[in-house]
Chains A and B, each alone.
Chain A
């Protein structure tokens, strides 16, 4: 099927109106040798057939509502308020594009302005952009910004606690550039600050930390930030936005850039995307910030309104001199985060973060009481922690999967990374512990 609102007869008469004898005359510049006679694509299907086929494909996947899931590792199962889908699916948001024509896009522009405001308040930073692709590419953009801000420095120090996929992406983004990437060692689940100190020198452009880190531990961001600044480097804080309901925000410990994965803010896990990279900086580096920015201004009558601003940084104006190549971003996902933060609000974000913290600690304590299992680290954590199992973690995962439980992410050896969010009740945790006990037998 197609979605063309003209009949073939209408299209033919349009061809005549254009003043050519046939459609082929319009495409005469395409050499005949390049015309493709037949593509080997599946035959088209009607809408009912399409729904049937895709529903069957979807049913071959075990969705998280059919299992008891304790996997986090960068993708977090959180409650998504119903109002979010309802609002973002409005065609006026959903089927618009980048708000180049401000007068016809005040809804999108104001929503992004509010998103920027909420991200700034949550992270305690000065300026938030309108979104990037995901947390990993946001961290990579942060790395590039460190280098741009310190053009004579060529070293980036990455905490060993940064999500391994994020590290990969930073590596990918910087492979064409003369950059020296150094990963710092962990001890008991947290970055060794003496290792950071040992690596700091006048060539270090940026120090990049994640907290809570990949293995769930809360890093001493304030101390890391102080050390980085002492060496003249920028400090980048990659953070879980839900944790900021209770944990110190990057602005409080002097981070120059705060970024991270915004998926926990009302965005479905959806097998890894579309998600949201959030990115905020201090005012000092706003002119080097990547991506779109919405600013408030006024119209000819003095009425408040919103526009895309500082566009002279961007690729459509600056071309090869732009601060980033990003064009299309994740605007609708930023809108989801904006509605989520609006609904949760000041009190809700605190309550939600605390609920994650409490349930995760209850689960950790209960698991540590299951014979053979213990907590791998002694560091403070938020909603994720590593369990040392009495048998290979991959085997634990296999045994629990048979009982409809996704136990966590097997890290190699006996280490299992477990995530417990507010979506888990105490009886879920009991069921998990019983399954772990059974698996160890």
Chain B
């Protein structure tokens, strides 16, 4: 059934109100207190609706979404795992949700202790010496990390111009490097899906400030020559940056710090299951080896005896990357998640995530080509090249058709290094029963593509809306009511 919900501006009517405020109980008005030239000429044309209109409107909108709570959501590289409810309950405690960032440190020691313990746990998990919790998301962490690397080279006496990224990297990697003033050098992947070591070695020179890697890569593969890569980079004086987007494969198994990475960011909304919120908020803590600690964003959390405070005197710091101390509410959830799991729990998660991804890959090999026919880590990359014999833009068509089976689509057309890529990340919080149903649906789609392609090309058939005209959206830009 297709249901449309009109925009909120079409609900309600003049004079309706969805709020109640204490009376001003004053004869004075804005014009009595502020010169007329500073005042608004006409009221903002916001909705005029009753509370029930608002509640029904947004409840109905919510029902038009797929989400982890309602659907299997195997969006590759996004780690859409189950978000434990207790974490939200803890973050909502007044002692966490209703504290002001400028209130005296003596009145927020519990919050500071939590942040301190979280920093310590992240150091241990990533194999790093110090963490800053300030960055608000993964890309924000990347920018922070690249500025730290830049500050390091400047302190060494030479800024260096280039940053190496593999062609399989997340788009944020080159974008973050560019934002920090670097020229981006892209190196290709080898046939086995790992970084082409020879091409990498050739690109490496003393103008390279950093090498940015995701490990496992977006091909879902562990870079087995990572230690050699790190050595080669370090020999040239370059630093190694770890994009933590895929850390869910390795938690409790292996640590970026031990592989030779100098700077890492962690996506708490992926690995540590803080909810994705329809696109955020996340948190992107950044960890470094001790030689880089002085460059971390200011202020730094400091423990003196049993007391915590904020150290603002950090002359070598790159400075702030956002106001105050980071996405605290998200960090509370990550802390709770880690306390619930401990090392054993994290290790079990990674193991189950890897088993689930390999299970899906093996089961689908009969109907789809694996981009790399070898065991994968926490996600697998397929290619719809076989399906291209029958239909155009096959990965896109498959993504639309799978929605009809009640599954969110995998990531498609990413990584860019794999033609017609379909990237599936089941995560550890899916049961074998769910995976079997997903596999059956994917196989049915492959068969439909051969036998009744129209069924796939017209998909989705069961969603609130049919395929949308994206070209028109960009051409006739309509971004507000």
Name the B residues within 8 Å of A246 (CB-CB).
30, 34, 39-40
Q: How far is the CA of A353 from the CA of B60 in the complex (A)?
A: 30
Q: In the bound complex, do residue A42 and residue B319 qualify as a contact, i.e. CB atoms below 8 Å apart?
A: no
- Given A93-B278, A354-B29, A81–B19 Cβ distance below 8 Å? yes
| A172 within 8 Å of B (CB atoms) | yes
Q: How far is the CA of A382 from the CA of B187 in the complex (A)?
A: 54
Name the B residues within 8 Å of A128 (CB-CB).
479-480
| A193 within 8 Å of B (CB atoms) | no
Q: How far is the CA of A45 from the CA of B26 in the complex (A)?
A: 54
Stretch at the interface among A130-138, A151-159, A202-210, A368-376: A130-138
Q: In the bound complex, do residue B279 and residue A92 qualify as a contact, i.e. CB atoms below 8 Å apart?
A: no
| B197 within 8 Å of A (CB atoms) | no
- Given A104-B66, A137-B136, A345–B103 Cβ distance below 8 Å? no
- Given A295-B473, A327-B172, A98–B278 Cβ distance below 8 Å? yes
- Given A38-B343, A168-B319, A273-B327, A83–B479 Cβ distance below 8 Å? no
Looking at the complex, which one of B275, B349, B403 makes contact with A4 (CB distance below 8 Å)? B349
Looking at the complex, which one of B7, B68, B98, B479 makes contact with A295 (CB distance below 8 Å)? B479
Q: Besides A5-B429, A93-B65, A135-B323, 9 other CB < 8 A contacts?
A: A36-B252, A50-B336, A95-B68, A95-B275, A114-B8, A244-B40, A358-B26, A361-B28, A401-B104
Q: In the bound complex, do residue A401 and residue B107 qualify as a contact, i.e. CB atoms below 8 Å apart?
A: yes
Stretch at the interface among B77-85, B384-392, B441-449: B77-85
CB under 8 Å from chain A, chain B span 19-42: 19, 21-22, 24-26, 28-30, 33-35, 37-41
Q: How far is the CA of A51 from the CA of B117 in the complex (A)?
A: 16
Q: In the bound complex, do residue A305 and residue B180 qualify as a contact, i.e. CB atoms below 8 Å apart?
A: no
Stretch at the interface among B200-208, B231-239, B286-294, B351-359: B351-359
| A254 within 8 Å of B (CB atoms) | no
Name the B residues within 8 Å of A41 (CB-CB).
121, 124-125, 338, 342-343, 346
CB under 8 Å from chain A, chain B span 302-333: 318-330, 332
Q: How far is the CA of A274 from the CA of B330 in the complex (A)?
A: 7
Q: How far is the CA of A316 from the CA of B321 in the complex (A)?
A: 22
**Which residue of chain A is the closest to B29 with respect to CB atoms?**
A354
Name the B residues within 8 Å of A4 (CB-CB).
348-349, 352, 428-429
Q: In the bound complex, do residue B111 and residue A29 qualify as a contact, i.e. CB atoms below 8 Å apart?
A: no
Smallest CB-CB A-B distances: 3 pairs: A272-B324, A58-B95, A91-B69
User: Smallest distance from the beta carbon of B89 to chain A beta carbons, Å?
Assistant: 7
Looking at the complex, which one of A47, A104, A354 makes contact with B65 (CB distance below 8 Å)? A104
Q: In the bound complex, do residue A105 and residue B37 qualify as a contact, i.e. CB atoms below 8 Å apart?
A: no
Q: In the bound complex, do residue A62 and residue B99 qualify as a contact, i.e. CB atoms below 8 Å apart?
A: yes
User: Smallest distance from the beta carbon of B230 to chain A beta carbons, Å?
Assistant: 11
Q: How far is the CA of A81 from the CA of B431 in the complex (A)?
A: 38
Q: In the bound complex, do residue A23 and residue B351 qualify as a contact, i.e. CB atoms below 8 Å apart?
A: yes
| A189 within 8 Å of B (CB atoms) | no
Q: In the bound complex, do residue A110 and residue B343 qualify as a contact, i.e. CB atoms below 8 Å apart?
A: no
Interface flags for B332-344 (1: CB within 8 Å of A; 0: not) read: 1001101111111
Q: Please indicate which of the listed interface residues B83, B351, B362, B477 has the most CB atoms of chain A within 10 Å of its own CB.
A: B477
User: Smallest distance from the beta carbon of A288 to chain B beta carbons, Å?
Assistant: 14
A: contact size bracket: 35 or more
Number of chain B residues whose Cβ lies closer than 8 Å to a Cβ of chain A: 209
Q: In the bound complex, do residue A36 and residue B7 qualify as a contact, i.e. CB atoms below 8 Å apart?
A: no
User: Smallest distance from the beta carbon of A93 to chain B beta carbons, Å?
Assistant: 5
User: Smallest distance from the beta carbon of B24 to chain A beta carbons, Å?
Assistant: 5
Total contacts A-B at CB 8 Å: 700
| B190 within 8 Å of A (CB atoms) | no
User: Smallest distance from the beta carbon of A142 to chain B beta carbons, Å?
Assistant: 14
| A194 within 8 Å of B (CB atoms) | no
Looking at the complex, which one of A273, A300, A351 makes contact with B21 (CB distance below 8 Å)? A351
Q: In the bound complex, do residue A328 and residue B269 qualify as a contact, i.e. CB atoms below 8 Å apart?
A: yes
Q: How far is the CA of A282 from the CA of B408 in the complex (A)?
A: 35
| A149 within 8 Å of B (CB atoms) | no
Q: How far is the CA of A382 from the CA of B54 in the complex (A)?
A: 29
- Given A110-B7, A110-B61, A252-B41, A324–B179 Cβ distance below 8 Å? yes
- Given A41-B121, A246-B30, A34–B258 Cβ distance below 8 Å? yes
Could you jot down 25 A-B contacts, CB within 8 Å? Answer: A10-B432, A34-B227, A34-B258, A35-B254, A54-B90, A54-B332, A69-B103, A81-B18, A81-B51, A94-B88, A95-B67, A98-B279, A106-B64, A116-B479, A121-B46, A128-B480, A133-B327, A137-B136, A169-B320, A273-B328, A297-B476, A325-B143, A326-B137, A344-B19, A346-B45
**Which residue of chain B is the closest to A87 with respect to CB atoms?**
B58
Interface flags for A278-317 (1: CB within 8 Å of B; 0: not) read: 0000000010000011111111110111110110101111
User: Smallest distance from the beta carbon of A386 to chain B beta carbons, Å?
Assistant: 15
Q: How far is the CA of A128 from the CA of B226 in the complex (A)?
A: 43
Looking at the complex, which one of B57, B95, B179, B259 makes contact with A59 (CB distance below 8 Å)? B95
**Which residue of chain A is the closest to B338 with respect to CB atoms?**
A41
- Given A104-B403, A113-B479, A316–B414 Cβ distance below 8 Å? yes
| B49 within 8 Å of A (CB atoms) | yes
| B371 within 8 Å of A (CB atoms) | no
Q: In the bound complex, do residue A380 and residue B35 qualify as a contact, i.e. CB atoms below 8 Å apart?
A: yes
- Given A298-B468, A397-B104, A409-B102, A107–B65 Cβ distance below 8 Å? yes
Name the A residues within 8 Å of B184 (CB-CB).
319-320
Looking at the complex, which one of B5, B59, B320, B344 makes contact with A168 (CB distance below 8 Å)? B320
| B93 within 8 Å of A (CB atoms) | yes
Interface flags for B268-301 (1: CB within 8 Å of A; 0: not) read: 0100010111111111000000000000010000
| B379 within 8 Å of A (CB atoms) | no
Name the A residues within 8 Å of B323 (CB-CB).
74, 134-136, 163, 165-166, 169, 261, 272, 275
User: Smallest distance from the beta carbon of B382 to chain A beta carbons, Å?
Assistant: 15
Q: In the bound complex, do residue B34 and residue A18 qualify as a contact, i.e. CB atoms below 8 Å apart?
A: no
Name the B residues within 8 Å of A50 (CB-CB).
86, 90, 336, 339-340
Q: How far is the CA of A310 from the CA of B432 in the complex (A)?
A: 39
Q: In the bound complex, do residue A315 and residue B177 qualify as a contact, i.e. CB atoms below 8 Å apart?
A: no
